[in-house]
Amino acid sequence: MRLRIGFVVDDALALLTIFETIALGQLVLYPFSLYTSGSFAWYQAQMFRGLVPLSPILLVLLLYAWLARLVLTGARKHSTRLDRFSRALSEKVRDLDKPNSSQAKFILLHHPRLLLIVAMTAAALLGLLPYSPGLNPNGNIVGTDTPVYIEWTRQMLARPLPQAISYAFSEADRGFRPLPLILLYSIASLGVKPEQAVGFFPVILGPLLSLSSFVFVKTGSEDSGAAAIAALVASFSFDLTVGIWAGYLANWLAMIIALFLLASFFIFEKSKRKTILVPLILLSLALLLTHPWTWALILAATLVFALSRSRDKRKLLTISTLVLIVGGIIVDFAKNQVAGSTTLATDLGTKSPVFGISQFLIFWPNLAGALAVFYDGLLGNALLIGLSALCLVTIRFHDKMEAMLAC
């Protein structure tokens, strides 16, 4: 009796799902089970740590998969055998993404808004978790950068409104993140203590991240079920966990704005209505005033996406993206002239030591160290990076959602 590989894979995935479900249940009921030797959650952590050494290799494959695809596309024209192999591999991986009958019967996928509410609720509860009496009986401030945000908020509260706004645009972090500071100042102005305004800000950001993920995927794929799953995954992503424990509030808010910006760009591509440029410009400027580096990365990806579109869409999308970029540069320069804040270009000049031949020669040690040491090894998630690299095999650049993710 022949043993089919597909059955073995299905059984392995079923066992892995059961294992992960039990581990998740232990973490929910008793968060310290992660450190309890012999628990499912502990074994899960050991498994992830064991896979960390594979992360650098997989990340290189992920980053340069587009180059491999270009080479493969050219080689397929000269090799029939290679063409058949690449087509079979692509179809096999793409088949994994097709919904089966059990997925179709999954009742929550028929109620995406309900699943979205569950995701947003879970994200809000996770924002409260660090201050629960069982974990933090003394109510200590959680987050590496959280005390800095608290001090900035205090400084703004000690000033009249015009001077407080000026402080956010100039002195606090050289004027790099005025929008989140103004939001925190607005909350604290209602009589909320700065410690509470900043400490519980994740309770607001968490649900917004789930909502923005839902809107982004729904607009790009037009699949409400996939959007609801994306929202649920976002509520447990390391954007949320790192955002809480590292206190990266501006980065977190920037990702929320970025997802709404990209969703608006999808709408603009489909409708071609120039009136949508107004919310696009506003979202772009909000992103710039929240976290300039995220603005630069997102606009660069959007420009590449615009250039990759079909000829009938390319011109409009490219010009519109350039308008957003030029508008951001003008606002950044004006902010510098009026408030004396640091521009993105000036800050880029301070990063010159990280470029050059010397850094290229230590590329691999830098990469391995970043994945294994930075954030206590959180970025060295070999499973997540590997799945992302595998998905690039099936990317179809004519599909707007997949093309944007590839960019």
The pLDDT value given to residue 51: 86
Report which of residues 298 and 103 the model is more confident about.
298
The pLDDT value given to residue 1: 43
Does residue 41 lie within any of the structural domains?
A: yes
Does residue 40 lie within any of the structural domains?
A: yes
Does residue 13 lie within any of the structural domains?
A: yes
pLDDT tens-digit series, residues 326-353: 999 999 999 988 888 888 877 776 666 6
Q: Are 313 and 277 in contact (CB under 8 A)?
A: no
Domain with 4 in it: 1-51
Based on its alpha-carbon atoms, the radius of gyration of the chain, rounded to whole angstroms, reads 23
Does residue 15 lie within any of the structural domains?
A: yes
**Band of pLDDT at residue 20, cut at 50, 70 and 90:** confident
Token output for 238: 């390391």
pTM for the full predicted model: 0.83
Token output for 76: 């397929």
Give the rounded distance of the alpha carbon of 314 from its chain centre: 26
Round to whole Å and give the CA distance between 170 and 153. Answer: 14
The pLDDT value given to residue 101: 46
Does residue 108 lie within any of the structural domains?
A: no
Does residue 3 lie within any of the structural domains?
A: yes
Q: How far is CA 402 from CA 97, 113, 406, in A?
A: 13, 23, 6
Span 41-63, mean pLDDT? 87
- Total number of domains constituting the chain: 1
Does residue 24 lie within any of the structural domains?
A: yes
Q: Are 52 and 377 in contact (CB under 8 A)?
A: yes
Amino acid type, 198: V
Does residue 213 lie within any of the structural domains?
A: no
Q: Are 119 and 210 in contact (CB under 8 A)?
A: yes
Residue 152 in this model has a pLDDT that exceeds 50? yes
The distance in angstroms from the start CA to the end CA of the chain is: 46
Average pLDDT, the chain: 85
Q: Which residue has the tokens 């992960």?
A: 20
pLDDT tens-digit series, residues 249-301: 999 999 999 999 999 999 999 888 888 999 999 999 999 999 999 999 999 99
Residue 41 in this model has a pLDDT that exceeds 90? no
